[in-house]
Amino acid sequence: MSGFVDKKESIRPWGSYTVLEIGEGYLVKTIEVNPAQRLSVQSHNHRSEHWVVLSGIANVLLGGKEFVLKEGEHVDIKVKEIHSLQNATNLPLKILEIQNGDLLSEDDIIRYSDIYGRV
Protein backbone atom coordinates (compact mmCIF):
# COMPACT_ATOMS: atom_id res chain seq x y z
CA MET A 1 0.00 0.00 0.00
CA SER A 2 1.32 3.44 -0.83
CA GLY A 3 0.08 6.99 -0.48
CA PHE A 4 -2.51 8.65 1.68
CA VAL A 5 -4.68 6.39 3.80
CA ASP A 6 -8.04 6.82 5.45
CA LYS A 7 -6.98 8.47 8.68
CA LYS A 8 -7.36 5.75 11.28
CA GLU A 9 -6.92 6.61 14.92
CA SER A 10 -5.55 3.93 17.24
CA ILE A 11 -6.23 4.40 20.93
CA ARG A 12 -3.46 3.49 23.38
CA PRO A 13 -3.29 3.73 27.19
CA TRP A 14 -1.11 6.86 26.89
CA GLY A 15 -3.21 8.61 24.18
CA SER A 16 -3.55 7.86 20.46
CA TYR A 17 -1.90 7.92 17.06
CA THR A 18 -3.22 8.50 13.56
CA VAL A 19 -1.53 7.15 10.42
CA LEU A 20 -1.53 9.86 7.74
CA GLU A 21 0.42 8.28 4.90
CA ILE A 22 2.18 5.03 4.02
CA GLY A 23 4.68 4.62 1.21
CA GLU A 24 7.49 2.31 0.13
CA GLY A 25 9.83 2.40 3.12
CA TYR A 26 8.07 5.16 5.06
CA LEU A 27 5.07 5.82 7.30
CA VAL A 28 3.87 9.18 8.64
CA LYS A 29 1.68 9.56 11.70
CA THR A 30 0.72 11.98 14.43
CA ILE A 31 1.04 10.90 18.05
CA GLU A 32 -0.98 12.52 20.82
CA VAL A 33 0.22 11.87 24.37
CA ASN A 34 -2.25 12.69 27.13
CA PRO A 35 -1.15 14.83 30.09
CA ALA A 36 1.07 13.00 32.62
CA GLN A 37 1.41 9.91 30.36
CA ARG A 38 4.35 8.17 28.68
CA LEU A 39 5.09 5.63 25.98
CA SER A 40 7.07 2.49 26.82
CA VAL A 41 10.87 2.48 26.80
CA GLN A 42 11.43 0.71 23.49
CA SER A 43 13.52 0.14 20.40
CA HIS A 44 12.92 -1.06 16.82
CA ASN A 45 15.00 -3.52 14.81
CA HIS A 46 13.74 -2.44 11.38
CA ARG A 47 12.99 1.27 11.43
CA SER A 48 14.33 4.67 12.35
CA GLU A 49 12.05 7.49 13.47
CA HIS A 50 12.06 11.28 13.20
CA TRP A 51 9.90 13.16 15.73
CA VAL A 52 8.80 16.80 15.38
CA VAL A 53 6.91 18.45 18.25
CA LEU A 54 3.78 20.06 16.80
CA SER A 55 2.37 21.30 20.13
CA GLY A 56 3.19 20.86 23.79
CA ILE A 57 6.42 19.87 25.50
CA ALA A 58 8.03 16.44 25.00
CA ASN A 59 10.30 14.78 27.52
CA VAL A 60 12.47 12.44 25.45
CA LEU A 61 14.63 9.53 26.60
CA LEU A 62 17.15 8.62 23.92
CA GLY A 63 20.22 6.45 24.33
CA GLY A 64 20.24 6.85 28.11
CA LYS A 65 19.97 10.66 28.01
CA GLU A 66 16.90 12.72 28.86
CA PHE A 67 16.06 16.08 27.30
CA VAL A 68 13.11 18.34 26.53
CA LEU A 69 11.78 19.29 23.09
CA LYS A 70 9.42 22.22 22.53
CA GLU A 71 7.15 23.11 19.63
CA GLY A 72 9.05 23.01 16.32
CA GLU A 73 12.01 21.07 17.72
CA HIS A 74 12.88 17.58 16.49
CA VAL A 75 14.97 14.48 17.12
CA ASP A 76 16.20 11.52 15.08
CA ILE A 77 16.01 8.00 16.52
CA LYS A 78 18.24 5.40 14.89
CA VAL A 79 17.40 1.74 14.31
CA LYS A 80 17.85 -0.22 17.59
CA GLU A 81 18.25 2.98 19.66
CA ILE A 82 16.40 2.78 23.00
CA HIS A 83 13.91 5.64 23.38
CA SER A 84 10.75 6.86 25.06
CA LEU A 85 8.39 9.84 24.95
CA GLN A 86 6.64 11.46 27.91
CA ASN A 87 4.19 14.30 28.41
CA ALA A 88 4.98 15.58 31.92
CA THR A 89 2.66 18.61 31.57
CA ASN A 90 -1.07 19.07 32.10
CA LEU A 91 -1.56 20.01 28.42
CA PRO A 92 -1.77 17.66 25.39
CA LEU A 93 1.41 16.78 23.47
CA LYS A 94 1.27 16.22 19.72
CA ILE A 95 4.19 15.08 17.60
CA LEU A 96 4.67 14.16 13.96
CA GLU A 97 6.48 10.84 13.55
CA ILE A 98 8.13 9.80 10.30
CA GLN A 99 9.24 6.16 10.20
CA ASN A 100 11.74 4.82 7.66
CA GLY A 101 12.64 1.17 7.22
CA ASP A 102 11.87 -2.21 5.75
CA LEU A 103 9.29 -3.21 8.40
CA LEU A 104 6.87 -0.48 9.46
CA SER A 105 4.68 -2.39 11.86
CA GLU A 106 3.63 -2.21 15.50
CA ASP A 107 5.16 -5.73 15.68
CA ASP A 108 8.61 -4.09 15.50
CA ILE A 109 8.50 -2.81 19.09
CA ILE A 110 10.84 -4.25 21.71
CA ARG A 111 9.66 -2.97 25.11
CA TYR A 112 12.12 -2.67 28.00
CA SER A 113 9.78 -1.05 30.53
CA ASP A 114 6.20 0.10 30.44
CA ILE A 115 3.96 1.69 33.08
CA TYR A 116 0.95 -0.08 31.52
CA GLY A 117 2.34 -3.61 31.98
CA ARG A 118 2.90 -4.39 28.29
CA VAL A 119 6.49 -5.70 28.65
Q: Which domains does the chain have, with CATH numbers?
A: 3-113 (2.60.120.10)
DSSP one-letter code for 40: P
**pTM score:** 0.92
Ranges of the chain whose pLDDT falls below 50: 1
Of 36, 47, 80, 41, the C-alpha closest to 60 is 41
pLDDT at 7: 72
User: Residue 8: its pLDDT value, please?
Assistant: 83
In angstroms, the CA 9 to CA 93 distance is: 16
